A and B are shown apart, each in its own frame.
Chain A
Amino acid sequence: MPVNSGHATDRELVDRVARGDRAAVRLLFMRHHARVYRFAARQTGSESMADDIANEVFLELWRQAPKFEGRSEVGTWLLGIARFKALSHRRKRTEDVLDENYAETIADPSDTPEVVTLKEDKAAALRRMVDALPDEHRSVVDLAYYHGRSVTEIGEILDIPVATVKTRMFYARKKLGEALQKAGYERGWP
């Protein structure tokens, strides 16, 4: 008898979704939801907004599956949709709303940079500095370091040229290096 495969590729699942298979869209949701959600949370600074965006991304997958041509990986496609929706949500937002939980991950602004730095080790300092990067730089860093995306894929997701991806990575890392130095940490690569 045929053994049901637990290893259908993302592309095969999208083909099944295009034929109206809800089990396939649920499986894609299980595979990709956490990353899409985290990406949206980092883009918007709001976990409740990320929740809405992630749901909308997978509903969009349900609607658009028949049109998916497979020119990019399914994960890249989903992050591209998430990016677009995050921008729309941010435009709609009239004021910066940070969820309490998310705000906790950002240093207390009442502390001076020196005091904050003394409280944490280099890794924690780096994390805070990454959070403080401008959106356009943090997105590139998140996509490369956490989502494991290539230069080309990041260009597709953010809709920017490949050279701009590299330039943003360069400036992001330059800013991180300067911030570390300012905070009194030595950079391993001077």
Chain B
Amino acid sequence: MSGSAFPAGERDRMEALLPFYLNGTLSGEDLAEVEAWMESNPDAMSALAEIELEFSAIQSANESICPPADALGRFNRALDMEAGAERTGPSMLQRLWQRLTSVPPAVAWVTAAAALLIVVVQAGLENFGVGPAGTDYHVAGVAPEAANGPFALVSFKPDATLADVAALLEKEGASIEGGPQAKGFYRIAIPAGDDATYDSLTKALSASPLVAEVIPGRRPGNGS
């Protein structure tokens, strides 16, 4: 039975409140009551030790449940079905990649060289401030405000879990801006204000056992 009234006895109230004291969420009158009880009660440490054991058992019961590694990919597909294809469609590079992988190697090299020339010329024009007024470039899946920051393309190993990847990115202060793109690469925002920090962060990502490959993208010095 679960009962409907909160127990009135001090001991019973402590049974109910101590877990919240230990998880750090108790406040107000409840917190004052527990703290007063702990100061005056010799059993307090035993009670907390018992709850720590419960914490440990419940943590382990929950963490033994492993989310599937492909969950994000399947969510992306579900999101596409829900919201329709990305407004911008495949990027120029994605279209180029698809084109290159479907033609004979010799033709592909010539096409790639021509495309590289176009990119170089375009970059030169942009650097000199030449371009259509009001152009609003938008990388697929990337927030417009994030599109000019430093980034790298990162692919993860198939056995890397979402929780591990999230923890790695949080540790390095990095975040996913977009993807997955061709070959499972994600565009990862690198929080670096200078090239040394950028190199250090991409090196740390490369060294992680979760990461399959890191391809450097825009460096801090390139976008200013």
* Chain A residues within CB distance 8 Å of chain B: 1-8, 16, 20-27, 29-31, 33-34, 37-38, 41-42, 47, 50-51, 54-55, 58-59, 62-63, 102, 105, 122-124, 126-127, 130-131, 134, 136-137, 141-142, 144-146, 148-151, 153, 163-164, 166-171, 173-174, 176, 187-189
CB neighbors of A among B171-185 (8 A): 172-178
Q: Specify the chain B residue showing the minimal Cβ separation from A36.
A: B67
Q: Is the CB of B191 within 8 A of A5?
A: yes
Given that A127-B61, A146-B62 are known contacts, is A4 also in contact with B72, CB under 8 Å in the complex? no
Q: Return the CB mask of B42-72 against A: 1 if under 8 Å, else 0.
A: 0100110110011111111111110110011
**How long is the Cα–Cα vector from A106 to B49 in the complex, in angstroms?**
25
Whether A29 contacts B16 in the complex (CB less than 8 A), given A2-B148, A123-B56, comes out as no
Chain B positions within 8 Å of A3 at CB level: 149-150, 191-193, 220
Residue of B at shortest CB range from A50? B65
A162 CA / B120 CA spacing, docked (Å): 63
Say which one of B75-83, B98-106, B122-130, B207-215 lies at the interface with A: B75-83
Smallest CB separation, B185 vs chain A (Å)? 14
Which B residues are in CB contact (< 8 Å) with A153? Answer: 25
Chain A proximity of B63: nearest CB distance (Å):
8
Q: Which residues in B have some Cβ–Cβ distance to A below 8 Å?
A: 1-7, 12-13, 15-17, 19-20, 23-27, 30, 43, 46-47, 49-50, 53-65, 67-68, 71-72, 74-76, 78-79, 82-83, 86, 141-143, 146, 148-151, 161-163, 165-166, 169-170, 172-178, 189-193, 220, 223-224
Chain A residue with the shortest CB-CB distance to B179:
A26
Residues of B within 8 A of A102 (CB): 65
How far in angstroms is the closest Cβ of chain B from A180? Answer: 9
Bound Cα distance A151, B29 (Å): 13
Q: Besides the contacts A164-B2, A176-B54, what 18 more A-B pairs have beta carbons closer than 8 Å?
A: A1-B220, A3-B220, A6-B191, A21-B143, A27-B176, A33-B71, A47-B65, A50-B65, A55-B71, A105-B64, A130-B61, A145-B19, A145-B58, A146-B58, A151-B30, A167-B2, A167-B4, A188-B46
CB distance from A4 to the nearest CB of B (A): 3
- State the CA gap A86–B3 with chains docked (Å): 24
Flag if A33 contacts B53 (CB, 8 Å).
no
Given contacts A6-B169, A173-B15, A188-B49, contact A26 B76 (CB under 8 A): yes
Q: Are the CB atoms of B71 and A51 closer together than 8 Å?
A: yes
Q: Is the CB of A189 within 8 A of B43?
A: yes
Q: CA–CA, A3 to B174, complex, Å?
A: 11
Would A16 and B19 be within 8 Å (CB), given that A58-B75, A163-B5 are in contact? no
Determine the chain A residues whose CB is within 8 A of the CB of B79 once the complex forms. 22, 25, 58-59, 62
* B36 → A minimal CB distance (Å): 17
Contact assessment for A151 and B20 in the assembled complex, using a CB-CB cutoff below 8 Å: yes
Which residue of the partner chain, among B17, B149, B161, contacts A4 with CB atoms under 8 Å?
Answer: B149
Using Cβ atoms and an 8 Å threshold, which residues of chain B touch A25?
79
